[in-house]
Structure 1
Amino acid sequence: MLFKKYLAIAPGIILTFVLYTLSQGLNNIIGIELLGYDKSPISTAMIAILMGIVLGNIFQMREGFLLGIDFTQKYILKLGIICLGIQLKPFEFLKFGSIAIPLIIVCIISVLIVVKLLIKKLKISTRMAYLISIGSTVCGTTAIMATAPVIKANKSEVAYAIANITVFGIISMLIYPYFANIYFNGDPLFVGLFLGTAIHETSQVAAAGLIYDQQFNSPETLNIATITKLIRNTFLVIMIPLFAYLYNRNTTKNKNYSILNIFPYFVLGFIAMIVFRNTGDQIFLSESLGQIWKDTVSNIKDSAKIFLSMAMAAIGLSTNLKDIKVMGYKPFIVGFIAMITVGLVSIITMQLFTNLY
């Protein structure tokens, strides 16, 4: 019986893996061969969802694929999010944490307030607003994908929010390095903090930091931007349960509602992976074991990217463009204002901190 169940979901899972493989190959061709980067600044997951959307809207998915596609969205997605925890090294964050953490908190709160005001004016769905908010303030596509299941967002809302974050993330990735250099007079600390807080995706932050490094010869800026972004990513652990509670509290009629009923327990796996990483870093210090540990960490990081890209492909395959069209342009207005807000708040907050200290 169990074998039949696995057999039923296999075609859909294999299809998403094939799309991931194609996306990775296309990503390497565009980012490395054509653009000349050592590491592509383009997200494989972004290409995967675009390919999925194209195929899903050209061809009608057969029943034999739908079960596996649905399984990938629900479970392989969560497995990928858990594996993401392996890349976080909180002990490295202490150097910049005293500045970065307050800055990130202010940015998150500011965007949440602005989006809350906008949804009343523009009348977009609460689920869409939450997805755009967490995508803009925490870690882009990953945050959207992690939040969607706990607020019961539908596939079209997820795809729209991801498209929203992708468009404005790419715009900021290309513009902000040059703007930050002018505005902050080339100060690597402030430029790095700005890039790490104002750009959505981790890959986009890394690309912006790399652009800055190559244009203005500042590897320190790339390091600060990356560390700031990884600190920002850890807020996923707080924001997902918070959004889950706020959304379900407002939609349930049960006065005895508890966060335990909707708590996304895969977040605990994410935290456990962070602990696992840092414990391993402390234990495996010898050269022989150290290399094995580094390989293990690298393999888990690669697995996270594969699982998340497969989930993105699955979302794309099950997305109907007609449903997105029905949503209209208003969520994109929210996304644009969220991008501007997080950038302005980042600048203003850093100026305040500079004046205080």
Structure 2
Amino acid sequence: MKIIKTKSFWLAAIMTLICAVAGILLAKLPYVNLIGALVIALLLGIAMQLTPSSLRAEAKGGMGFISNKFLRLGIILLGFRLNLQKLADAGIKTILVAAIAVTGTIFLTYWLSKKFGAEDELAILSACGCGICGAAAVMGVSPQIETNDEERKRENEVLAVAVVCVMGTVFTLLEIALKPVLGLSNSQFGIVAGGSLHEIAHAVAAGGAFGEASLDNALIMKLSRVLLLAPVALIVGYWYQHRLVKESAEEHTKKPGKLPIPWFLGGFILTSILGTFLPFSASFLDALVQAAYVFLGMAMAALGVSVNFKVIFKRGGAVFGAAVISSICLLVFMIIMSKLFF
């Protein structure tokens, strides 16, 4: 870990920590909370591109370390938010509805993105972001995708995050506006919000607009989707590895593939278990979750500093179009499920 001792790391750490903390604080403001702390940190990281090029060049090596290692640490700590007992108490129907919603949204978004001309990596990142939990899902799945073009991968990560941010924000406002005409109780609306909105921040903003029952159900349904982050990332990793092995065989190469070992996803599951069954205080768990958002925010800011947006704007149409259609389908599905089963 020599990089930890270098000026590059500490400079990058200070720059990204400012973005992460500012993102958390700004996300507490009315209306701004619809965007979410992680996306704000990403935007502030993009704004860091206006700093002197010499400063960014000095911090470049540290940025790569933070966007990689701090991302994994943040995902691990985020597991403390996932209370498995609450999910069990909510009943098997909540988990089943979440599983169907996540699976259907991922497949539909991926298929539409490919139909509209998006490249494979961008399509799967956007699909997982829309299907599971927004930016955290994009960044959780991305390490499972092997690539030789890291710059292209960073562009795909940022574009996928942008997709889920825009879709989630638009649909948060849309669902709040539609609630009076949908004939949903507050509890049912919470199920819809948690099951159809992309970021945890979006589900909290929409569910919280109609009281405690709505907010509680929104969080339970949303966390039921978050629970699927680990298995989806494992499946994506296995799928990509299988494809690499197949492509190598077709090219008559002997390069052996190695199965992905997502230790950070194992950590995510472990912290979920610890947070559920050990007698931690609520304030201590909140502190751990806040630490998770600090580390994730730093990773997002590091991503924003290094991304090339000129390239991204040229490739965004396909996934945005796919996300619009799949988000509408997901909303309709959750409205039907809420009326039938909740």
Q: TM-score under structure 2 normalisation?
A: 0.88
Corresponding position: 1:85 with 2:79: yes
Query: Is residue 3–residue 9 contact of structure 2 (8 Å, CA) maintained in 1?
Result: no
Q: Deviations over 1:152-193 (max 9, x none)?
A: 47111111111111011001111213323422x232332221
Output the CA distance in 2 between the equivalents of 1:112 and 1:318: 27
5+ long unaligned stretches in structure 2: 147-151
Q: How does 1:214-253 map to 2 (within 5 A)?
A: 219-252=212-245, 253=247
Output the CA distance in 1 between the equivalents of 2:204 and 2:27: 15
- CA RMSD, Structure 1 to Structure 2 (Å): 2.5
Q: TM-score under structure 1 normalisation?
A: 0.85
Match of 1:297 in 2: 285
Q: Alignment partner for residue 130 of structure 1, among 115, 124, 148?
A: 124
| TM-fit CA distance, 1:59 | 4.6
Match of 1:189 in 2: 187
CA 328–98 in structure 1, closer or farther in 2 if over 3 Å, else same: closer
| TM-fit CA distance, 1:77 | 0.7
CA 328–94 in structure 1, closer or farther in 2 if over 3 Å, else same: closer
| TM-fit CA distance, 1:57 | 5.7
Corresponding position: 1:96 with 2:90: yes
Output the CA distance in 2 between the equivalents of 1:116 and 1:4: 38
Q: Percent identity among equivalent residues?
A: 25
Q: How does 1:308-327 map to 2 (within 5 A)?
A: 308-327=296-315
| TM-fit CA distance, 1:123 | 1.7
| TM-fit CA distance, 1:250 | 2.0
Corresponding position: 1:276 with 2:274: yes
Residues 345-354 or 94-103, more deviating: 345-354
CA 352–4 in structure 1, closer or farther in 2 if over 3 Å, else same: closer
Equivalent position amino acid for 2:193 in 1: L
CA 162–88 in structure 1, closer or farther in 2 if over 3 Å, else same: same
Match of 1:143 in 2: 137
Match of 2:149 in 1: none
Output the CA distance in 2 between the equivalents of 1:160 and 1:211: 29
Output the CA distance in 1 between the equivalents of 2:73 and 2:131: 22
Q: Alignment partner for residue 105 of structure 1, among 99, 103, 109?
A: 99
Output the CA distance in 2 between the equivalents of 1:137 and 1:247: 19
Structure 1 stretches of 4+ with a deviation exceeding 4 A read: 1-4, 254-260, 350-354
Output the CA distance in 2 between the equivalents of 1:114 and 1:321: 26
Query: Is residue 57–residue 320 contact of structure 1 (8 Å, CA) maintained in 2?
Result: no
Output the CA distance in 2 between the equivalents of 1:99 and 1:221: 17
Query: Is residue 195–residue 221 contact of structure 2 (8 Å, CA) maintained in 1?
Result: yes
Output the CA distance in 1 between the equivalents of 2:34 and 2:316: 29
Q: Deviations over 1:212-251 (max 9, x none)?
A: 22xxxxx211111111111111110111111111123223
Q: Deviations over 1:90-114 (max 9, x none)?
A: 1112232322111112112222332
Equivalent position amino acid for 2:198 in 1: H
Equivalent position amino acid for 1:201 in 2: E
Match of 1:340 in 2: 328
Output the CA distance in 2 between the equivalents of 1:72 and 1:273: 21
Q: Deviations over 1:322-347 (max 9, x none)?
A: 12023141111011112112112223
5+ long unaligned stretches in structure 1: 214-218, 285-292
| TM-fit CA distance, 1:24 | 3.5
Equivalent position amino acid for 1:18 in 2: I
Match of 2:60 in 1: 66
CA 137–12 in structure 1, closer or farther in 2 if over 3 Å, else same: same
Equivalent position amino acid for 2:125 in 1: L
CA 90–326 in structure 1, closer or farther in 2 if over 3 Å, else same: same
Query: Is residue 83–residue 303 contact of structure 1 (8 Å, CA) maintained in 2?
Result: yes
Aligned residues: 331
CA 232–257 in structure 1, closer or farther in 2 if over 3 Å, else same: farther
